[in-house]
Structure 1
Amino acid sequence: MFRIGLIINPLAGLGGSVGLKGSDGLAAEALARGAEPRALQRSALALAELSELKDRFCIYTVAGDMGETVCRDLALPFEVCHQPCEPTTADDTRAAVASLVEQGIDLLLFAGGDGTARDICAVAPESLCVLGIPAGVKIHSGVYGVTPAGTGRLLTRLVRGEPVSLMEADVMDIDEAAFREGRVRARRYGEMLIPGELSYVQAVKVAGKESVELVLTDIADDVIERMEEEDDCYFIMGSGSTVAAVMERLGLENTLLGVDLVYQKQLVASDLDAQGLYEHIRDKNCKLVITLIGGQGHVFGRGNQQLSPAVIRAVGRDNIWLLATKSKLSSLNGRPLRVDTNDPDLDRELGGLMRVITGYHDEVLVRVANPEYEANE
């Protein structure tokens, strides 16, 4: 009987869709802006993968939305081993780790973001194997699955007793206050033991801004030329330094870690949240200009939750302009690009070959494929 410890941070990811770029200390503000909790939904996507193996595992978890609710909804075998306070805090996460470790768990499964990973890393025994369900706004740590379903798929391998190697992965976090001001201050807080299946577990983000300035200029010139051919079109400008190079070339102010809207080379709106962005573009001709996260390969779902499923569907797959230097693509070592939109059907629709603008009149084809779907094909 495989013994799974489960901790869910029910507040994880609240700030993403409303443009707060994090949830640390801002849960109340995020809720006031209309944010909807998503950690339980994403946890359910992961745990649903275990539905055919109920006689082979037991989940030891925390009362309420920190684990019990999802287990009960999915009719999974579970025991409640810890009672949190209300509202839950980081102290509850740390205390829950100790309670679950006392149960002799084989693996600690948790849902959250980098802050949750930090809390667990601070108290978890070095010998404890952990695996994260990505539910936060920013996920720089290497202890998370590439998607919730990908996490679940790896977990089923462990429950079945299949041999899976182990590896140490970094726990990273950034200063959210600086992040909201457009400055990235990343710091390593330690490492934890994870199942070492790289097709299911995301790599740590490649830190720092692209240094190949000439290539970025070439990419920017190509994008601007394309814009000039689309005179009656709105352009959603995503986050990241590659898109920032386009905005700089246009002479427009840019939200490095947010989403802006451009029309006829003029800035229409800055740092939009998911709802505001959708209201701007839902009945308009528009293109989405985005890049991917170096090292990880995520296109959606890592720090750009403003690009909600509704926004992406309104734009359409064929109207996505994906930008990346060839060095950034090479850093993936042959791994496909990933999408984690919080909508499994949309993730599937986004799969397949996608054109990537890598220079002036220079494109390559790169595959978009999440491992949990590939395994069924």
Structure 2
Amino acid sequence: MESIGVVVNPIAGMGGRVGLKGTDGKLDEARRRGAEPRAPERARQALRSLHRREPALTVYTAAGVLGERAVRDAGYEPVVVYDPAGAEADVDAGAGAEIDGATDRGPADPARPDDPGDAETTADDTRAAVRAMLDRGVDLLLFVGGDGTAVDVAEVLEDADAAETPMLGVPAGVKIYSSAFGVTPADAGRIAAEFDRVEDREVNDIDEDAYRDGEVRTELKAVVPVPVAPDVQASKQVSSGSVDALASGVAREVEPGRTYVFGPGSTVGAIEAELGIDPSPLGVDVWRAAEAESNGRRGDVLAADAAESEILAVLEDPVTIVVSPIGGQGFLFGRGNHQISPSVIRRADEIEVVAAAEKLDGIDALRVDTDDEDLDEDLRGWTRVRTGRFTTRLVTVV
């Protein structure tokens, strides 16, 4: 491989920790709630991993937060081929070429250099950047974002009649249902450097408005060539097994006076329902068990469909986090539950992992991707997964 195209969706994932379950059409609200960009740093992680293995690559990218800054921070001298204002660089100028009159879309706040600033980039910018990179004949398109970004890249590949050009995602979105992403940013960088063949993988997306209302509507958008490697994540799958016995078993062992943070998903939702809680199917709820059951009341909901800040505001020790892995992928943290942030996880003295046996049968290992490497390392190793009223299974977290 001689060249690579890099495009970053700088707002991908900003809605996660603040409880918006996505950023499409919600950027102003995400900022109002205090959301911080996460995609640029994840881009740097992937590109540093790539640079350690392939430091001599020619890297084509877009201006400013659309890729240029992350590429430069990783140690490459970028060739900027697209600017959000619409100009293109002269590729013959060589590495480091700048676009005449390029606007770097400087940050609204100099103290937050990853912020896209007031002049927002859009999906049209992503598509235009990818087209410019395809014109340069890149050997791989490395994109940073979520499923929506994957759809944008895939559509350009199809429209440009460049279906043979492989694409690989650096996971930065809130929800990632597609199988075109590395498991972690570092994995994506390594795969980009070392792959020697590709295979067709699915690009899926969901309706974010329906998702925020607790309904998952997935749609296959494209089938694209993706580098082959063990650390390319699978498509999300849903277990069909009954979780009634599992929910009953967890509910009967609730500890009086303990605070429970319930993650998203139908399995955890069944536990909440068993406790008399109206669950937020795709959100995070916080509930404290009563010291003693009274008139059938087993506890109190402290926060429903909560953002990270709301969770932290109501936590009272001791704390248990209850999560179920994503079917087919195995993620415990870092996909669809960013509200359960490293700060929340560190407040817990117990993490209870629950999953129907049928779901575990389709998962090779459990995974974590919290944006905190030290925490991820602490979470790795063997963990006990509750599969029924009394049954458990040991599964490794990698």
Per-residue deviation, residues 64-114 of structure 1 (Å, max 9, x unmatched): 001001112222132111101431000001111110011110000000011
Match of 1:223 in 2: 250
More off after superposition, 61-70 vs 76-85:
76-85
Alignment partner of 1:123 is 2:156: yes
In structure 2, give the amino acid aligned to 1:325.
A
SS at match of 1:310: helix
CA distance, structure 2, for counterparts of residue 53 and residue 103 of structure 1: 22
CA distance, structure 1, for counterparts of residue 362 and residue 313 of structure 2: 36
Match of 1:32 in 2: 32
Alignment partner of 1:291 is 2:318: no
In structure 1, give the amino acid aligned to 2:174.
V
- Say how many residue pairs are matched: 352
Match of 1:273 in 2: 307
Query: Computing the radius of gyration over CA atoms, which structure comes out larger, 1 or 2?
Result: 2
Match of 1:374 in 2: none
CA distance, structure 1, for counterparts of residue 147 and residue 44 of structure 2: 20
Match of 1:372 in 2: none
Q: How far does residue 54 in structure 1 lie from its aligned partner after superposition?
A: 5.1
Match of 2:240 in 1: 211
SS at match of 1:359: coil
Q: Note the residue ranges of structure 2 that are not aligned, 5 or more in a row.
A: 86-118, 290-298
Alignment partner of 1:244 is 2:264: no
Q: How far does residue 51 in structure 1 lie from its aligned partner after superposition?
A: 3.3
**Alignment of structure 1 residues 121-160 onto 2, 5 Å:** 121-124=154-157, 125-158=162-195
CA distance, structure 2, for counterparts of residue 78 and residue 114 of structure 1: 25
In structure 2, give the amino acid aligned to 1:97.
V
CA distance, structure 2, for counterparts of residue 322 and residue 84 of structure 1: 44
Alignment partner of 1:200 is 2:220: no
Match of 2:381 in 1: 352
CA contact under 8 A between 2:264 and 2:280: conserved in structure 1?
yes
CA contact under 8 A between 2:178 and 2:205: conserved in structure 1?
yes
Per-residue deviation, residues 304-342 of structure 1 (Å, max 9, x unmatched): 0001011111114xx00000011101112xx21110111
**Alpha-carbon spacing, 1:54–1:293, altered in 2? closer, same or farther (3 Å):** closer
CA contact under 8 A between 1:21 and 1:303: conserved in structure 2?
yes
CA contact under 8 A between 1:18 and 1:275: conserved in structure 2?
yes
* TM-score (structure 2 length as normaliser): 0.86
CA contact under 8 A between 2:168 and 2:227: conserved in structure 1?
yes
Match of 2:116 in 1: none
SS at match of 2:387: strand
Q: Percent identity?
A: 43
Per-residue deviation, residues 269-323 of structure 1 (Å, max 9, x unmatched): 2011011111222x5211001100000111111110001011111114xx00000
SS at match of 2:382: strand
User: What is the aligned-residue RMSD (CA, Å)?
Assistant: 1.3
CA distance, structure 2, for counterparts of residue 123 and residue 51 of structure 1: 26
CA contact under 8 A between 1:54 and 1:77: conserved in structure 2?
no
* TM-score (structure 1 length as normaliser): 0.91
Which protein has the bigger helix share?
A: 1
Match of 1:87 in 2: 120
In structure 2, give the amino acid aligned to 1:218.
A
CA contact under 8 A between 2:54 and 2:193: conserved in structure 1?
no
Alignment partner of 1:41 is 2:41: yes
Per-residue deviation, residues 208-246 of structure 1 (Å, max 9, x unmatched): xx4322xx111111111221xx21210001100000111
**Alpha-carbon spacing, 1:211–1:75, altered in 2? closer, same or farther (3 Å):** closer
Match of 1:106 in 2: 139
Q: Note the residue ranges of structure 1 that are not aligned, 5 or more in a row.
A: 159-163, 370-377
SS at match of 1:56: coil
Match of 2:73 in 1: 73
In structure 1, give the amino acid aligned to 2:340.
L
Alignment partner of 1:187 is 2:224: no
CA distance, structure 1, for counterparts of residue 378 and residue 309 of structure 2: 22
